[in-house]
Structure 1
Amino acid sequence: MPSNASATRSEASDAAPATAANNKKLPYPKSDIRVNLTNHFASKVYTSSSPVTGNVTITTKRHVRFDAIQILLIGTSKTRVVESLGTPQDVTHTLLKMAMPIPESSYPVPRVLETGHTYTFPFNFVIPNHLTINACNHPMDSNRLLDQHVLLPPSMGNWDKDDMAPQMAKIEYTIKARVLHQPDLGSSTLRIMEATQTLKVLPASIEEPPLSITEHDRLYTMCQSKSVRKTVLATKLGVLTAEGIQPGPAILRSDGLGMVSPTVGQIRLKFEPASVDTPPPKVTNVTGKVAAHTFFSSGTISNFPNMGHWNEQFVDHKRGAYSTTASLPPVLFKPSKWQQHLTSTARRDSGYSTDNGPEVAVESDSGSSTNPQRRRGSRQSTQSSSSKKQASPIFHSTTQDVQFSLPVEKKTFIPTFHSCIVSRVYTLQLSLTVAIGSTTKTVSLILPLQVMVEWTPPEDDGVELPSFERAVQEAEADEHLRPRLMQVPDQQFRETSVLPGYGA
C-alpha cells in the first residue's frame, strides 16, 4: 500500500452559499482528500526519470456532487521584487504541468461521492529532464540560453538544510489533487476539494563548456598580480602573478547528500624576480570558499545573468541578486616545483632560444617615425633606460594543483541552472599564501564553478512508464500554459473591432 505522506485536508466548499446576514458557511462536516506517494518519506529526493507513483484517496462525510477529478504534477518558479515605491511584486511562472488522465470507468455513476465511502484514484508520473519548447518562448540573446531555459530546474527554497537561496526566489514541485464541480451550465468551475504534496527534485545535468570570460564579467577574477616586498618601504623582490583555470564540475550524487568525487583545479603561477639571486616563493597554504549567486527578476531574463553587468543593463522590469558564501573543507595541495625560463628579451639579446617555457610579451620600441635618425635616437634612449633598470633576464613558473570538496554536510547544493525568471551559479574563491624567506603574500582568485548532479538509471520497480497518449496530453497542457505577450495593438487595429488573423 502507498505510504501516506503529509496529507492535506480541505473542506468541501460546494455547500449552499452563506447568507448575507451572517456571511458564514454552513457547518458541514469536513471531507478528507489525501495524496499518498509510494515509498515516500519527507527527505526523499527525486531526480531525472524518477517515477512518482501513488494514489489519491477521497472520503466524504456527506454526499458531494462533482464533475471531474484532476491529478497534476506542477512545477512553478516564484520571485518577489520591490518596486520603486516600495511595493513588493510577486511573480509566478508555471514551468511544468503534467496531467494524469483518469479513465471514465474510474468515476462513480452518478458522479456523487457518497457518505463514508473511500474512493481511490491511482497516478503515475515520471520526472522529466527537459521541458517542452513552449515552456520558454520569450526573446533572448542566444540559442544557448534557450537550451538552458528548457532544462528542468531544481527545487529551491524548501530543503531541510540551507540551500543558500533568498526568500525572494523559490522553485517548487507538487502533486495536486482536485475535485471540480460546475454548479450550473456556463458557470465557472469550482475547486471544491484540493490536496497537495511537495516533492524535492534534483534533476540530472551535463557538463557545460568553460565560460568565455572577459573583463566586463565582474563576477570573476581569473588573474591577479602582486608585488612582493620584505616590508612596505623595502625594495621590490619581484612580481607574483596567479592565473586560474576553470575547474571541472563539482558532481553531486543524485540524492544530494554527497559528492561523487573531489574536484580538482589548477592555478598557474609566474614569478618575475627583480634580481637573479631572488628565489621563487613557496606555496604554504591554500584556503577556499564557495559562493552561491541567485539571480531573480520580475520579468523574463534574456541573457546569462552571471556574464556582463546584471544590475546595470537597461530593462523594463525589476531585478535582484543574492549571494552568500560557505567555507570549503581543507583544500588539499602539494607544492609543485618551479621551472626557470629566460625572458624573451634575454633570448633576443643573447641569441639563445629555448622551448622550456612560455615566452613573455615584450613591448616594441616606441615611435613609428620614418626618420632613421629619430629612430636611432629612440632606440638609444630605450636601451639607456632599460640598462638603468637592469631587469632580471629570468622568470619562474609552475602549476599548482588543488583538490577540494563542497561542504554538503552543512549546506544543500542545488545544480547550476538558468530558467526564465530565476538563475543560480557558483564561484570558487581560492586564496594562496606564498612565502619568500620571512615575507608572505596572499593572492586571491574567483573562478566559475559548475555544480551538477550525476545521472543514475531509474530502478525497475515494475511501474509502467507513461503512454504516448499521456505524452500528447502533456504537450497540450504545455501549449495551454504557453506565455502570452500582451501589448498595445498597432494603430491600424485600434478602434476597428478587427483582430489580425481573422476574416470579416
Structure 2
Amino acid sequence: MSRGMLPGKRRSAALQSFSFRKPSDVDIILDDEDEHSFVSSYTNLDKISGQILIKCGKDSSFHELEISFEGVTETYIEKVATTAPTSGRTIGRHRFLKLLQPIDPSLLPENRVARAGVLYTFPFEFVVPDRLLDQQCTHRVDSPQVHEAHTRVPPSFGDPMLAGDGQTLQDDMAPEMSKIQYMIRARMVKARATGTRSSDVTDKAIKVRIVPAVDEDPPLNISEDNKDFELRKEKDVRKGLFKGKLGRITAEAPQPSGFRLPALKNQSGCPISTMTTVNLRFDPIDDKVQPPPLGSIVSKLRAQTFFGSVPFRHLPSRSSVNAWDTQRGFFVQSVELSSRCISSVEWRKHDGMGSSTASLSRRQSNFSDLSMASTENTPDPSSAYRPGSPFYTAKVLVPMSLPRNRSFTPTFHSCSVSRTYVLDLNVSYHTPGATVSTPSIQLRLPIQISAEGNPDATVTISEEEAEAIATREVDEELAEGRFSSRSLAPPMQIPEYSETQPRVLPAFQGLRRQSEQQQGPPGYSLAGWGGSLLRGGVATTSESLSAFQTAARANSVSVM
C-alpha cells in the first residue's frame, strides 16, 4: 500500500484525527477489527494482521522502528506490617512473549527522518504461538510437568477491559494483584550518545484478548489425607442437636467432566454445561431406623487465583499457600451454579448380604480410586456399619451450567499466576427434631475449564524454519545422549583373539585337576563348539575357544 492512503471508514477516521494529536503519534489498525467490539479476541495459531500508521508534526529522526507482539505478566504482593514505614509492595513482572515484525527497508523514510505531515504505513502480521519457548521458563521446578504447564500460552487475565466476550464487560473473578496482558506495540527509538540510554520518539500499544486452546488434563490422583478436596465424606445423623444417633450418612462423587468453552468463532449462545453424580448411603444403627428425607443440593464453583512476585516451583494449591508469605498470594471467589430440590429422590433398601467389612478396608487403602469415574453406584460402608445389616442408597444427578454474567478463563498455570477451580456440592437432609438449622454434608471436587481452539487453524512454517527445528531437535538428542552413531557394515579387519592362561593359586591346583577328570552333567554339551562345559558354565578346552573365535568372526558387527 502506498503512503498516505487509508482504506475503509476506520482508517479515514484515524487519518482525520491526526491533526488534533501530538506532534508525533502512532495509530495501530487491525484488519479484522470489529466496530461493534471494543477488543479483538484470538486463540492459538490465529493471525493478527494490520497496519501501523505514523505521522509526525515535525521532522523527527529515529534510529530504529520496532513493531512487536508482546505478552506480559504483572503481579504484586502487599506487605503486611504493624507499622506504616515498613509497609509496601513486592512487585513482579515477566515478559514471556515478544515477537518482532521484520520491516521492509524500502518502507522506511530516507535517512530515517520522518518528515512532518507525511503519513507512513507499515504492515504487520503475527501468529499466536501454540506454545511458549522453553527459554521463557528457566527457573527451578519440582517436576517436568510444572515446566510443561508453564510453557503453555496463558489467557488474558485480570484486565477488566478485556474480560468478557469483547462486547460486554464481565468480571473474570481475578484480583487486581495479578494481570496477564497481550498487546501490539510500535516504538520509534532515537539513539543518544554513547553510554546513555536511547529515548522513544513515540510509543503506542493496543491490547488484544487471547483465549488459548486448552485440553482437559487427566483426573488428579487424590490421596486420602488431601486437604484441598473431599471426594468422600461421612457424617453422623442425629435426632437433634444434643440427642442420640440415628445412623451415619456417606456421600461420594467422582471427579466430574470439566466445562468446555466454545471456540471464539463459534459462539452459538448455548449454555456451557456438565453433569456429575452424587452417590449417597445411609447405615442405620438398627433395622427400625429409616433414612432421613433429602432436602436440596446446591452446587457452587470456586475460582482460585494464585499469584506471586517470584515463580512457582510447583503447581500451587490452597493448602500450599501460607497466609503470611510476603512473596505469594491467594484469592478466591465463588459463584452459584445450580440449586435443586431433591425431596423426590427415594432411598433404596439393601439387605446387606453382599456387603462386608473387607470392602471398607479396601476403600481405606485405595482412596484415590474415586479420582476416576466409577461404574459402581453403591458407596462403600461407613465406619459405623454393622456387617450383614441392611442399609440404604440413593443417587442424585447434578446438572450444572456456567452463568452468563461472569467471564471464565480456562484452567492454567504460568510461572507467577495460576487459576484453578473447585466444585462445592452441599446436600441437605431433614431429621426429626432439627429446628435450629438444616443438617447437610459437603463435597469438594476438582473441576477444570478447558477451551476449544480454532478448528480452521493450521501450522504453517517455512522450509528454513522446519530445517532449523529438525537441527535443533537432533542437537538436543545428541546432547542428552539418546543417539549414538553406529555402523552395521562388516568390519574391515577381523580382530585377532589370543588365549590367555589364567594364573591358578597352588591351593586350587588339585581342585582343577579333579574337575578336569570329571564329566560334565548331561545336557551341558554344545554341538558344533568342539568342547565341553564344566559346572558353572566355564569352558576349559582350547577347542571351545577356537570355535568361539570362528563364530565371533562370522557374526561380528562393528559398533562405532
- TM-score, scaled to structure 2: 0.67
Which position in structure 2 is the counterpart of 1:31? Answer: 24
Tell whether 2:300 aligns with 1:294.
no
Tell whether 2:78 aligns with 1:69.
no
Which position in structure 1 is the counterpart of 2:439? Answer: 441
Distance 1:347 1:208, change over 3 A: closer
Which position in structure 1 is the counterpart of 2:220? Answer: 211
Match of 2:389 among 390, 393, 399: 393
Q: Is the 8 A contact 2:312 2:415 kept in 1?
A: yes
In the alignment, the residues of structure 1 paired with residue 313 and residue 420 of structure 2 have an alpha-carbon distance, to the nearest angstrom, of 16
Which position in structure 2 is the counterpart of 1:231? Answer: 240
In the alignment, the residues of structure 2 paired with residue 356 and residue 59 of structure 1 have an alpha-carbon distance, to the nearest angstrom, of 70
SS at match of 1:110: helix
Q: Give the letter for the 1:456 counterpart.
A: N
Q: Deviations over 1:366-402 (max 9, x none)?
A: xxxxxxxxxxxxxxxxxxxxxxx98871222333221
Alignment of 1:153-302 (within 5 A): 153-158=154-159, 159=163, 160-184=169-193, 187-215=196-224, 217-255=226-264, 261-302=272-313
Q: Percent identity?
A: 29
Q: CA deviation at 1:358?
A: 6.5
Q: CA deviation at 1:356?
A: 10
Q: CA deviation at 1:332?
A: 8.7
Match of 2:334 among 325, 343, 360: 325
In the alignment, the residues of structure 2 paired with residue 180 and residue 194 of structure 1 have an alpha-carbon distance, to the nearest angstrom, of 9
SS at match of 1:457: coil
Q: CA deviation at 1:151?
A: 0.5
Which position in structure 2 is the counterpart of 1:134? Answer: 135
Alignment of 1:278-427 (within 5 A): 278-306=289-317, 308-311=319-322, 318-330=327-339, 335=345, 338=348, 340-342=350-352, 360=381, 393-407=389-403, 409-427=404-422
Unaligned 5+ residue runs, structure 2?
Answer: 1-6, 164-168, 359-375, 470-560
Tell whether 2:432 aligns with 1:432.
no
SS at match of 2:147: helix
Q: Is the 8 A contact 2:281 2:378 kept in 1?
A: no
The alignment covers a number of residue pairs equal to 419
Q: CA deviation at 1:458?
A: 3.9
Which position in structure 2 is the counterpart of 1:146? Answer: 147
Q: CA deviation at 1:36?
A: 0.8
In the alignment, the residues of structure 1 paired with residue 54 and residue 318 of structure 2 have an alpha-carbon distance, to the nearest angstrom, of 50
SS at match of 1:342: coil
Q: Deviations over 1:308-367 (max 9, x none)?
A: 422179x8x61110111112144597836635151678799xxxxxx996764889xxxx
Q: Deviations over 1:177-203 (max 9, x none)?
A: 011121346653322111100011111
Q: CA deviation at 1:110?
A: 2.1
In the alignment, the residues of structure 2 paired with residue 412 and residue 332 of structure 1 have an alpha-carbon distance, to the nearest angstrom, of 27
Q: Is the 8 A contact 1:100 1:125 kept in 2?
A: yes
Distance 1:38 1:62, change over 3 A: same
Q: Give the letter for the 1:262 counterpart.
A: S
In the alignment, the residues of structure 2 paired with residue 470 and residue 106 of structure 1 have an alpha-carbon distance, to the nearest angstrom, of 25
Q: Is the 8 A contact 2:41 2:211 kept in 1?
A: yes
Q: CA deviation at 1:91?
A: 1.0
Q: Give the letter for the 1:86 counterpart.
A: S
Distance 1:115 1:397, change over 3 A: same
Q: CA deviation at 1:268?
A: 2.1
Tell whether 2:55 aligns with 1:44.
no
SS at match of 2:291: coil
Distance 1:361 1:236, change over 3 A: closer
SS at match of 2:205: strand
Alignment of 1:444-459 (within 5 A): 444-458=442-456
Q: Is the 8 A contact 1:4 1:35 kept in 2?
A: no
Q: CA deviation at 1:280?
A: 3.1
In the alignment, the residues of structure 2 paired with residue 6 and residue 276 of structure 1 have an alpha-carbon distance, to the nearest angstrom, of 82
In the alignment, the residues of structure 2 paired with residue 163 and residue 232 of structure 1 have an alpha-carbon distance, to the nearest angstrom, of 41
SS at match of 2:320: coil
| RMSD between superposed Cα atoms in Å | 3.6
User: Which 10-residue stretch deviates more, 58-67 or 338-347?
Assistant: 338-347
Which position in structure 1 is the counterpart of 2:495? Answer: none
Q: CA deviation at 1:62?
A: 1.1
Distance 1:270 1:56, change over 3 A: same
Distance 1:4 1:307, change over 3 A: farther
Match of 2:53 among 48, 52, 57: 57
User: Which 10-residue stretch deviates more, 181-190 or 157-166?
Assistant: 181-190
In the alignment, the residues of structure 2 paired with residue 210 and residue 336 of structure 1 have an alpha-carbon distance, to the nearest angstrom, of 30
Distance 1:218 1:345, change over 3 A: closer
Which position in structure 1 is the counterpart of 2:553? Answer: none
- TM-score, scaled to structure 1: 0.74
Structure (1 or 2) with the greater helix fraction = 2
User: Which 10-residue stretch deviates more, 259-268 or 243-252?
Assistant: 259-268
Q: Deviations over 1:97-154 (max 9, x none)?
A: 1111112222122211111111000111111231011110211111111111001111
Q: Is the 8 A contact 1:222 1:243 kept in 2?
A: yes
Which position in structure 2 is the counterpart of 1:501? Answer: none
In the alignment, the residues of structure 1 paired with residue 380 and residue 48 of structure 2 have an alpha-carbon distance, to the nearest angstrom, of 59
Structure (1 or 2) with the greater strand fraction = 1
Q: Deviations over 1:387-424 (max 9, x none)?
A: xx9887122233322110111x2111111111111111
Q: CA deviation at 1:442?
A: 1.4
Q: Is the 8 A contact 1:75 1:171 kept in 2?
A: yes
Distance 1:309 1:5, change over 3 A: farther
Q: CA deviation at 1:75?
A: 0.4
SS at match of 2:253: strand
In the alignment, the residues of structure 1 paired with residue 341 and residue 130 of structure 2 have an alpha-carbon distance, to the nearest angstrom, of 35
SS at match of 1:428: strand
